Amino acid sequence: MRFKVNEIFHSIQGEGSRAGRPCVFIRLTGCPLRCSYCDTTYAFHEGEFMDLEAILARVRSMAGAPGKGPNAPFVELTGGEPLAHPDAPALLSALLDAGYEVALETAGSHDIGRVDPRVVKIVDRKTPGSGESARWLESNLAHLVPGQDELKLVLTSEADYAWARAWCLEKGVLDRFDVLFSPVWGALDPAWLAERIVADGLPVRFQLQLHKLVWGAETRGV
């Protein structure tokens, strides 16, 4: 079983409810989407093939021994779009079986029903401003685990915010899942978004990309 891997690196989780935690990231190569604000275009094609055991060995060398509890080593599979790789669910299960806490970052354009339910799924509901909102699979909502998985909406504009708010209310997701609203770096004013969330009494988690605040928007491998 082989995967085209763009990079594997040890850094700080920059997004979501686990922001700030040390994390080993496995970034797979390739993505069928072309979001207007994509910040990982280098992952469309760059990478080298690695077999499953080589990936697990690299993770062990960075994360250390597996463990349990709130300080267990944390590993995230990202991309690109990791679920574009047909064997991605097997890689996720192998990481879980090795004893790590495991997350998946996915665009919601591929079926997450194939993914081990123990995986923390961070699913990006694409907005109109992304140019890829039609790629969403509505069936994925049925596979999200309340209290574990997260829905993320990346907003390019005030219009995107209005759309995202309406979608969340229509689908009833605010009472079931952690929902994250994130402004596109350099496009939507973070202060406007934070104030709008508070003014609307919207029970979502405002987030910024912590890694960009620390190392800059152009730095790779963080």
Residue numbers belonging to the annotated binding site for Mg(2+): 40
Residue among 80, 206, 220, 98 nearest 155 (CA):
206
- Burial of 137: CB neighbours in 10 Å, binned 0-12, 13-18, 19+: middle
Binding site as annotated, residues for [4Fe-4S] cluster = 31, 35, 38
169 Cβ contact partners less than 8 Å away, ≥ 6 residues apart: none
Residue among 62, 60, 102, 100 nearest 82 (CA):
102
Binding site as annotated, residues = 12-14, 27, 31, 35, 37-40, 78, 80
Binding site as annotated, residues for S-adenosyl-L-methionine = 37-39, 80
Which residues share a beta bridge with 7? 27
Q: Number of C-alpha atoms within 13 angstroms, CB side, residue 83?
A: 21
**CA–CA gap between residue 99 and residue 79 (Å, rounded):** 22
